[in-house]
Each structure stands twice: as structure tokens, then as C-alpha cells.
Amino acid sequence: NIWKMAKLIITTSRCPSISLIRFTKSLSNVFPNSLKINRGIKFFSSLFSCCLIHKASDFIIVYEKRGKPLSLIISHLPNGPSVFFGLSNVVTRNNIDKFFLFSNPPHVLLVNLDSPISRRITKILSLLFPKPNQNSQRIVSFVGGKKKIIFSHHWFQIKGIKQKDILLKKLSPSFDMQPYKILLGTLFTKEKELEWIITPFINKKKKNF
């Protein structure tokens, strides 16, 4: 039963557009241990109850603006932390689901994420993925850049020992993540303690992620 297996629950803001539903469906393919919930008009309290009932270890919610994914929040259960990301350059492909197996956990690459905040964020991200087996042919990568983390998803096949013998194909989705806030609690915690935030007013120093 997929409900018993699920450890990560993915949902959207209320009354999502078709494009946001498509994006979260694509995002759920990244995580073999995830369950996508159709939000509809459910209240936030209903989502919390769902997480409790199915013993979810993490909760992801995606918001949109004018039909485009705008932000993504990852909340580690039951005690936090929660990390907030802005989203940009979102690409969702529709032609790959029939050809690739998503049930195996992917290999995870974390590149150029060496600052204290980056290490904190990578620790949160790494909790989302089970340990991959040797036969896994998927890679997800988080590459640090100026004020953003570039996320990509690939399938690979090794046919020989040379670099040209490695086949690599982009999978859906891909996007840029701009971290802007970390809370010590969960999204469902009444009193949330702020761990870190970056805004033009609070933190004027340029940071690399």
C-alpha cells in the first residue's frame, strides 16, 4: 500500500492550477518514497492530520503565482526545521514518465555548497532521500551558485569505460531554488523560532549558496 510506504508528502496551495499540479506530479517522481496529495480546498489542519496518520518524515508544499510555481517549503517532521525557497526557471517535461523507472532512490550530488548556511540546507535536503542502491540509474544534483541552488534530475546508463560511453538524459523537473528563510520548527508549529532569513533589509551582504 503506497500510503504505508510514503515518508514524504507533497502538496500545493489551495485550488492549484493545472501547471502547478503537473509540476508537483513531476516533483513526486524525484522522490520514490513520496506521496502527492491533491490539495483541492483542504485546510492546512487537514494536511497536518494527514502527515500524522501516515507518519510522514517530511512535508513539502509548493505555492504559485499566476499559474507559475513561485515558492517551495520543506518541513522536516516532527520537530523541524523548515526551509523556504523561491523558485525560478522551472522546466517540466511531459514526455518521460513512460520510459524511466522512478521507484529506485537516486544518487544525490551536492556541489559548491560549502558555506555554513549551505551546509545547513544540504543537511535538510539530504534527509529527503533514502540511500540509493548500486543499480540506481538516476542522479539528482544540487549545485550552488550566486544566491541560488540549481536543481537538475538525470537518468544515466554506463555502456563502457570511456566518458563517451555514458548516456545521460535530462528528466523532469529542473529549477533554481533561492533559499530565503529557515525556521527551527515545522510549518504546523504554533510558535516558530526564526533561525535564519535573508531580505534586502535584514541581510544586505551578498551570499553564495
Mean pLDDT of 122-150: 91
Percent of the chain, pLDDT > 70? 86
Write the pLDDT tens digit of every residue in 154-168.
988 877 666 667 788
Q: Tell whether the model's pLDDT for residue 88 goes beyond 90.
A: yes
Which tens digits make up the pLDDT trace of 105-133? 899 999 999 999 999 999 999 989 988 88
Q: What is the mean pLDDT of residues 55-63?
A: 95
The CA distance from 143 to 76, in Å, is: 21
Q: What is the 3-state secondary structure (H, E, C) of 15-35?
A: CCCHHHHHHHHHHHHHCCCEE
**Average pLDDT of the residues in 61-82:** 95
The helix/strand count (H/E) of the chain reads as 4, 10
The residue type found at 66 is R
pLDDT confidence of 39, banded at 50, 70, 90? confident
pLDDT confidence bin for 2, thresholds 50/70/90: low
**pLDDT score, position 136:** 87
Q: Return left, alpha or beta for 67; rule: phi > 0 is left, psi -120 to 50 is alpha, else beta.
A: left
Closest C-alpha among 18, 53, 55, 54 to residue 38: 18
Residue 205 has pLDDT above 60, yes or no: no
Confidence of residue 200 (pLDDT cuts 50, 70, 90): low
Q: Give the per-residue pLDDT at 167.
A: 84
Whole-number Å distance between alpha carbons of 112 and 79: 28
Mean pLDDT, the chain, as a whole number? Answer: 86
C-alpha distances (whole Å) from 199 to each of 9, 127, 147, 205, 206 are 28, 26, 12, 10, 10
Given a cut of 90, whether residue 175 has pLDDT beyond it is yes
Mean pLDDT is lowest, of 67-76, 91-100, 125-134, for 91-100
Q: What is the pLDDT of residue 43?
A: 81
Helices of type H across 70-186: 116-126
Higher pLDDT, 54 or 174: 174
Q: How far apart are CA 12 and CA 33, in angstroms?
A: 18
